[in-house]
């Protein structure tokens, strides 16, 4: 018998299980922070969290609300500045990077800048922030998205952060560091990866209670499928306890 | 070196490094002179209509709010703004006096999209929006700090962020690979809030420094507000801690709780309730104007702002001594 959980709790758990021990991850505001904190407590005690405004190696005992606040360098290894962390990523030191966006396309390109035309936008969104840098320099990026056809679109209105751009070889042709790019997309319905040959989104596993058909219906383009579609294990009692009691007791995100 | 691609965004302030050198020679006093003044004087002395301004911060942390509130009170218009910003650029946009933006991120982080950014850009009142990444804009400050007209980086390549910026892509003369060149960014006036400064403008920041070291060196005029004013002996006891030396600074304003309703690392936490009030009010144009009236125009200065918020309330946000929260 599994405890009840909400969609954000599931997203956080799935993202946290992707983190490896003894490596580096660029962490943004929101769900990635909770996922990193959960990972440190359960799966990856030596995960080095890097926050763009200068915190490296914080112990994430309490949930940071802002990307530069004190908890992002609580008992950290170093507290420097934005040039240092971005340059560290540019030198190839950062393995994972977490991203979000208002739109994603089959190649993992992300939009967080405008809906509609740039000169006369229907909706002006916050802009790149550190996302473009994370998506350019981290070896493997993980996007976390709500899953619906407004967000999963054939072509994003604006490429804020490069995924595989137009397909195989396009990142390298644009001058981006070879061997980098989108790795996973964690959505409210499923876990996805990218096909090695075509660099297009590929369904890897569906979340508890979700069917492949539901994923297809909520995706605005043709998906690829792994040979065997897996099933995401639901959040464990221990994951939920940590999230609710230690990481986000005030329920700001969950 | 052949230019392979040019961003179509306007270069809001083209870099002139020789002029910047001349400026630094002529207008940046190398003598140790007392630069303490009121925020009213600091802002009126260095601000002008159409100025290209920047604020330094991260999230809601260490935002130079008291200086921005004063800048708004004095009514400068047609502002050109370089921005990564949360509370301070949101409130500046609420005044409808921002004309052009070099933008990386303007939003409310956990509380979502900035309603003021949406209104101002979607209505066309902000006439030009030029895109950059956080790394990109910081490296632009770094180029100016280095005294060179551009800096090569590997961010922004292949993206619309580059297409709608004023960056250029060239073939690297050493490796033959594509590289993005970002133009140096020199501000007319920069605003930075620090933990402590002496009266000459030597500054220390506790915790992460964000992009303060770079922006301080990229500003023709630099106005500092400080939680605490200390004697120069404090600075000289730990010279390794001086992130901004006095000769970069034009004005020093004593302003405790200057980042309120945001926070100041190791000093005080943020005022969650008042940040929520802010975000709620800003959702409508009427609310935004009411907020400006109540928290910016009605109090005549930062002292009166602190009275309005309440001294006890501010005190209750302070961390206990010894770093305990």
- CA nearest neighbour of A221 among A237, A240, A198: A198
Catalytic residue, from A52, A95, A217, A239: name it.
Answer: A52
Residue A24: predicted pLDDT? 96
- Cβ distance of A159 and B58 shorter than 8 Å: no
SS3 content of chain A, % helix, strand, coil (to 5): 25, 25, 50
Domain residue ranges in chain A? 7-247
For residues A78 and A52, the answer to whether their CB atoms sit within 8 Å is no
What are the helix (H) ranges across B59-184?
65-73, 87-94, 115-122, 134-146, 160-163
Residue B325: predicted pLDDT? 39
Distance from CA of A169 to the nearest CA of B (A): 12
Secondary structure element (H or E) that encloses residue B290, with its range: helix B285-292
Distance from CA of B324 to the nearest CA of A (A): 12
Residue A32: predicted pLDDT? 87
Q: Which domains does chain B have, with CATH numbers?
A: 3-22+30-317 (3.40.1080.10)
Residue A45: predicted pLDDT? 94
Rounded to 5 degrees, what are φ and ψ at A123?
A: -140, 125
Residue A68: predicted pLDDT? 72
For residues B159 and B190, the answer to whether their CB atoms sit within 8 Å is no
Given a cut of 50, the residues of chain B with pLDDT beneath it are 323-325
Q: How many CA atoms lie within 13 A of B251 on its CB side?
A: 24
| C-alpha dihedral sign at A85, A15, A185, A204 | positive
Residue A67: predicted pLDDT? 66
Q: Give the CATH fold of the A7-247 domain.
A: Glutaconate Coenzyme A-transferase (3.40.1080)
Residue A64: predicted pLDDT? 73
Residue B112: predicted pLDDT? 85
For chain A (254 residues), the mean pLDDT of every run of 10, in chain order, is 84 94 90 91 94 90 74 90 97 96 97 97 96 98 96 98 98 98 97 98 98 98 98 96 92 83
Task: Closest CB to B131: pick one of A69, A86, A128.
Answer: A128
Give the predicted TM-score (pTM) of the model: 0.96
User: Please, which residues have CB within 8 angstroms of residue B31's CB and are 6 or more apart in sequence?
Assistant: none
Give the bridge partners for B321, in sequence order. Answer: none
Residue B324: predicted pLDDT? 42
d(CA A251, CA B171): 50
User: Please, which residues have CB within 8 angstroms of residue B221's CB and are 6 or more apart in sequence?
Assistant: B46, B187, B188, B189, B190, B250
Task: Closest CB to A127: pick one of B60, B131, B208.
Answer: B131
Q: For residue B144, count CB atoms less than 10 angstroms from its CB and return exposed for 0-12, middle for 13-18, buried for 19 or more.
A: buried
Give the C-alpha distances (Å, rounded to integers) separating A247 from A12, A63, B83.
11, 6, 31
Residue A63: predicted pLDDT? 76
Helix axes B285-292, B87-94, angle to 10 degrees: 100
Question: A87 an active-site residue?
Answer: no
- CA nearest neighbour of B194 among B250, B256, B144: B256
Residue B321: predicted pLDDT? 65
């Amino acid at each position: 018998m599994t405890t009840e959980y909400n969609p954000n709790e599931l997203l956080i758990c799935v993202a946290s299980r992707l983190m490896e021990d003894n490596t580096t991850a660029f962490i943004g505001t929101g769900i990635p922070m909770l996922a990193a904190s959960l990972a440190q407590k359960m799966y990856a005690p030596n995960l080095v969290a890097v926050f763009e405004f200068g915190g490296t190696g914080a112990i994430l005992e309490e949930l940071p609300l802002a990307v530069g606040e004190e908890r992002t360098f609580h008992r950290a290894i170093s507290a420097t500045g934005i040039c240092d962390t971005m340059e560290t990523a540019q030198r190839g030191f950062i393995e994972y990077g977490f991203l979000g966006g208002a739109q994603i396309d089959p190649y993992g390109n992300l939009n967080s800048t405008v809906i509609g035309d740039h000169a006369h936008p229907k909706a002006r969104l916050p802009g790149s922030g550190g996302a473009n840098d994370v998506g350019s320099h981290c070896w493997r990026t993980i996007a976390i998205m709500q899953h619906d056809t407004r967000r999963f679109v054939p072509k994003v209105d604006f490429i804020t952060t490069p995924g595989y751009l137009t397909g195989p070889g396009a990142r390298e042709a644009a001058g981006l560091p070879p061997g980098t790019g989108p790795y996973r997309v964690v959505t409210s319905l499923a876990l996805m990866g990218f096909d090695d040959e075509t660099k297009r989104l590929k369904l890897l596993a569906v979340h508890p209670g979700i069917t492949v058909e539901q994923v297809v219906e909520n995706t605005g383009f043709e998906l690829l499928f792994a040979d065997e579609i897996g099933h995401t294990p639901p959040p464990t009692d221990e994951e939920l306890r940590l999230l609710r009691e230690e990481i986000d007791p005030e329920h700001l995100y969950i | 070196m052949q230019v392979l691609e040019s961003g179509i965004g306007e270069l809001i302030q083209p870099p002139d490094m020789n002029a910047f050198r001349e400026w630094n020679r002529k207008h940046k006093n190398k003598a140790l002179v007392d630069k303490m003044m009121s925020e009213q004087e600091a802002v009126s002395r260095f601000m002008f209509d159409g100025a290209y301004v920047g604020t330094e911060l991260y999230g809601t942390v260490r935002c130079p709010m008291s200086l921005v509130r004063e800048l708004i009170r004095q009514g400068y218009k047609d502002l050109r703004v370089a921005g990564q910003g949360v509370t301070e650029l949101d409130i500046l946009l609420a005044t409808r006096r921002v004309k052009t933006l070099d933008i990386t991120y303007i939003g409310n982080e956990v509380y979502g999209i900035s309603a003021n950014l949406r209104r101002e850009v979607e209505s066309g009142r902000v006439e030009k929006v030029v895109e950059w990444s956080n790394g990109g804009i910081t490296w632009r400050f770094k180029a100016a700090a280095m005294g060179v007209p551009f800096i090569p980086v590997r961010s922004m390549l292949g993206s619309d962020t580059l297409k709608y910026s004023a960056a250029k892509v060239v073939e690297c003369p050493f490796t033959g690979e594509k590289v993005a060149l970002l133009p140096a960014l020199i501000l007319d006036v920069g605003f930075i809030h620090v933990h402590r400064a002496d009266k000459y403008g030597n500054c220390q920041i506790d915790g992460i420094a964000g992009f303060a070291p770079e922006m301080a060196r990229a500003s023709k005029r630099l106005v500092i507000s400080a939680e605490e004013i200390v004697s120069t002996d404090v600075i000289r006891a730990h010279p390794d801690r001086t992130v901004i030396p006095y000769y970069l600074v034009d004005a020093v304003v004593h302003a405790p709780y200057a980042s309120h309703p945001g926070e100041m690392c190791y000093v005080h936490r943020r005022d969650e309730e008042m940040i929520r009030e802010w975000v709620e009010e800003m959702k409508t144009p009427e609310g935004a104007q009411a907020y400006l009236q109540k928290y910016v125009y009605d109090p005549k200065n930062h002292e009166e702002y602190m009275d309005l918020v309440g001294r006890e309330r501010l005190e209750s946000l302070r961390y206990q001594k010894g770093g305990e929260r």
